[in-house]
Structure 1
């Protein structure tokens, strides 16, 4: 769960940098230089979002992220609850809290998946 939250935060920051370049920096450079073809300077930030396989690639990445960070944790919790039925109540409570946090993480990963095309 901790690795999932760390991954999500870092991925969002990288996406925010890309958004800033595409939506703000390109326009500022155009304005300051008067050069209309400034997209060529930042071509990667624009081109990789328009690739015809982007949607499929982003959906595949979303599935891998959910399996890696959420499903594996839920399977581990369920396995623990099945294999260790006599655990202390505090352990079950902590497991319940972790399950809730994993579900929230799964939702957040879905929200931040950035499946949109183009700019």
Structure 2
């Protein structure tokens, strides 16, 4: 019974908070100039939602993936001092081999070529 009462109180507080937030955040749409996108004081000549290159997006994602991989490579030098050298070398080579296979796959698929 106590859990049911607490659940009802939490639900009631959540609903009241959402209603207050929606009532207080209402903005008036009376002024056309304030609601239009600003472009040096003139009306924009084209749509503000122009499409962007999907290829640029793919290059950005590949950059992020390889950036994370570099962040994973940095601790390898620190681990070298405290581990067995042959095991460290074997694990490092496997990791680098996997990265090179991924790079070759991206290159083979044509994702790294900017102009088609």
State the structure with more CA Rg: 2
Q: Identify which of structures 1 and 2 has the higher relative contact order when contacts are C-alpha pairs closer than 8 Å and 6+ apart.
A: 1
For Structure 1 versus Structure 2, the TM-score category normalised by the shorter chain is 0.3 to 0.5
Which structure shows the higher helix fraction?
1
**TM-score (ref. length: structure 1):** 0.39
**TM-score (ref. length: structure 2):** 0.40
